[in-house]
Structure 1
Amino acid sequence: MALLVPATAGAHVERPSYWPDPAPDTSISPPAGGKVPAIRDLYTALDEAPVGTTRVVCQGAVPSRTAVDAASRKLAKTRASYKKQRRAARRAKASKAKLRTLERQFRKRERKGKSAVRRARSSYAAAVAAHPSIARLRRSLDAARGAGYRFRPSEKARPLSAAEADRLLRFNERLLSACAYQEIQPAVTASGNNDRVVVMPGVYTEPTSRKKPKYDPACRKYQTFSDYPRRAGAATYTYHWYCPNDANLVAVIGRKPGTTPAPDPPRLNRRGIPDVGPCVRCNLQLEGSGLTADDTVVEAGDPKAGNSGPSAAGHAKDVAIGAQRADGFVLRNVSARHALEHGIYVIETDGYMLDRFKAFYNGEYGTLTFVSDHGVQQQCEAKGHGDSGLYPGAPPETGEQRTPGEPQRYNQEVRYCDSYHNAAGWSATNGNAVWIHHNRFYDNSLGLTTDVATSAGHPGFPGDSLLIENNEFYSNNFNVFAKGSDVKGKLPYPVGTGMWIAGGNAHIVRNNHFWDNWRRGAMLFSVPDVLVCAPGSGNVQDTCDPLKLSTSHRNRFYDNTMGRSPSGQAAPNGQDFWWDAFPLSQANCWYRNSGPGPLITSPSQLPSCNDGRDPGASIGIADLGNEGELLSCIVSFETRNYDPAQCPWFSTPPKPSARAAQRQAVARAQASPFEGKIRDFCEGRPDAPICRRLDAALEG
């Protein structure tokens, strides 16, 4: 952000982390990583010759088949005895009368045995039906038979036939007979490469891992310094290997620690994990066996809160489900709730698939996939998070800054998700080359954010090459700063905004719908390098030069529909596009965007670059009013004091009215004292980088 300082960036500070090797690991078969892992179908989990071993987790004790087996054995013994007696009688040439008597006696004993088997089976079936996992599944299936089911709220209800419901129920009954675990973590710990953990319906609070201490003294020797600026106490990968449940309710630790320690201080070039060890839990699939993710819940907080808030209600651990260096990891059909920080956390992992998952009211992120590659998040729901619902942070540089000679590729993909009622629906500091498409971002304060205001530990500066297309950004007017909000906002996001790009290069925003965002549809503003890696800040970033303006160039917004829903309903944004026009920002273009009427933008004229054919025609010359607005909000990034009197972002904007009245309101806003604020700011700080650039632009 043009006026923000690095210590305030919206980012989680990690240990010094590195991007994994994007090539497949062929030391195991099938290889791990190198691509997005395939999902193994639930109904193959009990196949006789699978790749890997399946471990089944269920909620509560497994009903005993002892009585059924005993009655069946007794009946079989009765039948065998009769056959033996009949053969002996025939050899002895017994009379027909004696043979008939022998048969009558057998039939009587057989009827009694069959009755005992039926009673035992009936008792066992009743116990199975009453088992918590089966009972929970039955309730889910009954509801879906009547009203259908959804993987995310905005999709059309999917019908469930009687045959489909019966098949899933019968398979879960088979799973129950194979269940050997009542908690998830022991099943994961017992697993190896290519294994599967199938978790039957239930709410899993994981009492054993809950009791594990945080900051365990036994693992203190495995701590290191955090990333720049260096601070003691960061947990190394080895720390998590030996104390996996220190921070995680369920931990998937994919590799042994390497024999070579990570460099200290860390490398600036983060390509390749320096202390990586061999796979021990790669290609692991962890899945719920219910109809949807609502059936199987990993509860890191208070189960009484259900899928509601407040954020991190009753939290016992920082993370609900954590996967570290777990190449080829698949998580499917599971919900994660109420962790202090993240619902689902994937770090330093090459190859992951998060499918049909839900995340509710975790303190910071629904998902945090950090310094990971070859990943997909799909068919998901994320609600109630203080930073964002979905966060692929610090992805590898596979876009503009890719290694010379390598083809450009999207390293991660987020698709077909609903992220709503969060501070932000989607976010990524240094969001490099992620493809975001066919999602719905609504009822957030800010629908989507990507920034380069990089705090320590986020490699990849400056973020570039996102592709944001075919999404819907609407009604992002939820005020997390309002009194009584069930979500505690972590960052000063502007309430009523569809998306913003706070710095970043070569991002493409196309073919999206923005409507009913009461402040703005889309914002773009600059973050000079000096505000990220200023001398003396302690924030060292590869390629960051405080003497340069490395960010906020070559961004394109085109073919978007503003102020109108896909169904054609008009619902205006407060403004459609907003740009700070920071001096010397280059090649940012807006073209072929449309709405019910003329678009409302600030500045009133945005460079179209001749429909994108002449990006060199676009260069920022400073919009003092818009820069002044940013300046008025900078204090909030420092103090976390979200006072609407200081910064307008924290109050809910009025709902936009007719376009003519809206234009008048925008004109009044542009004539507000923001321009005076930036002039006052620069009057006392003539040497500030932003002021020098503004002076140069105004003189030019």
Structure 2
Amino acid sequence: CEACGNGDSGIYPGAAHNINANEKFTVSRYAIEIENCYSHDNALGYSGTAGDSVWAHDNVFMRNATGVSTDSLFPEHPGLPQNHAKFERNVIADNNADYYAYVRDGTCNKPQIDRGYENGVVCPCVGIPTGTGVINAGGDWNIWQHNWVYGNHYAGFILTWAPGLVRNAKTWAAQFDTSHHNRYLGNSMGVAKDGMKSPNGIDFWWDGQGIDNCWQSSRPSGTEPLALPTCGSGWSVIGPGTARYVNEPMKLISLLNCARYDLVSQTVPCNCQWFGAKGFSRLDVQISTGEGVLTVLVVAVLLWRCLSPPSNLSVVGALLGVAGAVVGVIGAIYEATPWCGIGFVLLGGWWLASGVALRPRGRPTLGMVTIVLAVFALLCAIDRALWMLPWIPFSPSYVRILLEIVWIPWVIIISL
């Protein structure tokens, strides 16, 4: 089969028969088999809202905005949340088409007969990450193995949370029933079938939410975050894995921002990386920059008011704080690099030095809270860059942010 020119997807096995809902990775059969199809020049090469028990193999998904999407995002689809898709031996490559330009310039607001579909115009029905091979937005028990995933300028694979509210499921359990037990195994990342190298922007991007997910060890273009759980033999995970029910706070903000896309109102968030925002035009980088500026101001207030006259320890701490603020912004700009973790280490050093310096100056409680803040900054560094902490339901970033909300006004008030 061949499919092209669609504003939604070229191939759509949505709401497939949910025959494996109670199974794990090994199933006796699949409800739908898709093979030897060529899906190109669409918004999505493949889309499967509630695409349950679909076996897609030996297909080609090329030159779309996004190659493949499996999701649990839209209500009134039987079989939600999506589960048990298996993708193997597919070519998922060069999915970099920016059809949102036709929304921005008003082409998609014209009568359909005047839009120029015959000349390759595509009007995307939904907001998707341009330059991505695969996005799995709220899927469980999916297997992605032995595919050729290359030349996707943003990411090879994306895995994100899809809370039940987005599909009108209002029970407490439904808010946390997606993005669990997914496997990424033996995929050829950044390499075509003929051996030609064509790297992805990032090989694997994850928002940090989910239980028992793991990724292959071959990741030549890196991962975001750096510390992804690695798959072992069979279907196992090396180590204890993760048990996160909520995604990283900055990634949550970014995803909510990108979700504002709307074709009818011609809304394309200009500060969303999915739609081409880069560097300081990205919302997450703008927020990180604001945090960096605030950090530098608090460093100055703390040093010249609370710790005056400054000791050698407090001066060294202040320098670490300024460096951490700068490096944190660099880490936000350059995903899949160690900079974010390094920034947290530097900030942790600042808080630790400041906390130790505050205690003998008549501020023992503030000093202790500052030291606790340092501990959580260092835990964030470990969690993002070295080893994702197991057995906790959310990132240590949430505790750090809550402590900062208390600590920053506290420092400002006692400095007045």
- 1:635 aligned partner: 260
Q: In structure 2, what is the Cα distance between the partners aligned to 1:653 and 1:472?
A: 27
- 1:420 aligned partner: 40
- 1:357-401 deviations in Å (ceiling 9; x for gaps): xxxxxxxxxxxxxxxxxxxxxxx1101001000001101111133
- 2:86 aligned partner: 467
What does 1:270-669 align with in structure 2 at a 5 Å threshold? Answer: 380-401=1-22, 408-456=28-76, 458-483=77-102, 486-535=121-170, 548-582=175-209, 585-593=210-218, 598-611=220-233, 612-614=235-237, 616-620=240-244, 622-636=247-261, 641-651=266-276, 668-669=333-334
Q: In structure 1, what is the Cα distance between the partners aligned to 2:197 and 2:395?
A: 41
- 1:195-246 deviations in Å (ceiling 9; x for gaps): xxxxxxxxxxxxxxxxxxxxxxxxxxxxxxxxxxxxxxxxxxxxxxxxxxxx
SS in 2 for 1:635: coil
- For residue 516 of structure 1, report the CA deviation from its aligned partner: 0.7
Q: In structure 1, what is the Cα distance between the partners aligned to 2:397 and 2:273?
A: 27
Tell me the TM-score normalized by structure 1. Answer: 0.37
What does 1:224-263 align with in structure 2 at a 5 Å threshold? Answer: none
SS in 2 for 1:393: coil
- For residue 486 of structure 1, report the CA deviation from its aligned partner: 0.8
What does 1:45-56 align with in structure 2 at a 5 Å threshold? Answer: none
SS in 2 for 1:436: strand
Distance change (3 Å), C-alpha of 1:640 and 1:514:
farther
Q: In structure 2, what is the Cα distance between the partners aligned to 1:632 and 1:560?
A: 30
Distance change (3 Å), C-alpha of 1:482 and 1:665:
farther
8 Å contact kept, 2:257–2:269:
no
Q: Which amino acid aligns with 1:432?
A: D
Q: Which amino acid aligns with 2:241?
A: A
Q: In structure 2, what is the Cα distance between the partners aligned to 1:547 and 1:417?
A: 34
SS in 2 for 1:593: coil
Q: In structure 2, what is the Cα distance between the partners aligned to 1:650 and 1:614?
A: 34
Distance change (3 Å), C-alpha of 1:666 and 1:392:
farther
Q: In structure 1, what is the Cα distance between the partners aligned to 2:231 and 2:198?
A: 28
Q: In structure 2, what is the Cα distance between the partners aligned to 1:653 and 1:471?
A: 30
Q: Which has the higher strand share?
A: 1
- 2:409 aligned partner: none
SS in 2 for 1:571: coil
8 Å contact kept, 2:66–2:134:
yes
8 Å contact kept, 1:392–1:428:
yes
Distance change (3 Å), C-alpha of 1:414 and 1:626:
same
Q: In structure 1, what is the Cα distance between the partners aligned to 2:85 and 2:168?
A: 23
Q: In structure 1, what is the Cα distance between the partners aligned to 2:39 and 2:331?
A: 29
Distance change (3 Å), C-alpha of 1:652 and 1:562:
farther
Q: In structure 2, what is the Cα distance between the partners aligned to 1:586 and 1:393?
A: 24
- For residue 619 of structure 1, report the CA deviation from its aligned partner: 2.8
- For residue 414 of structure 1, report the CA deviation from its aligned partner: 0.6
Q: Which amino acid aligns with 1:532?
A: R
Q: In structure 2, what is the Cα distance between the partners aligned to 1:563 and 1:526?
A: 25
SS in 1 for 2:256: helix
- 1:180 aligned partner: none
- For residue 640 of structure 1, report the CA deviation from its aligned partner: 5.4
What does 1:170-249 align with in structure 2 at a 5 Å threshold? Answer: none
Distance change (3 Å), C-alpha of 1:586 and 1:518:
same
8 Å contact kept, 1:384–1:421:
yes
SS in 2 for 1:530: helix
Q: In structure 2, what is the Cα distance between the partners aligned to 1:453 and 1:698?
A: 25
SS in 2 for 1:449: strand
- 1:268-313 deviations in Å (ceiling 9; x for gaps): xxxxxxxxxxxxxxxxxxxxxxxxxxxxxxxxxxxxxxxxxxxxxx
Distance change (3 Å), C-alpha of 1:640 and 1:471:
farther
- 2:283 aligned partner: none
Distance change (3 Å), C-alpha of 1:444 and 1:666:
farther
8 Å contact kept, 1:523–1:578:
yes
8 Å contact kept, 1:530–1:545:
no
Q: Which amino acid aligns with 2:237?
A: D
Distance change (3 Å), C-alpha of 1:459 and 1:605:
same
Distance change (3 Å), C-alpha of 1:644 and 1:571:
farther
Rg larger in structure: 1
Tell me the TM-score normalized by structure 2. Answer: 0.60
SS in 2 for 1:426: strand
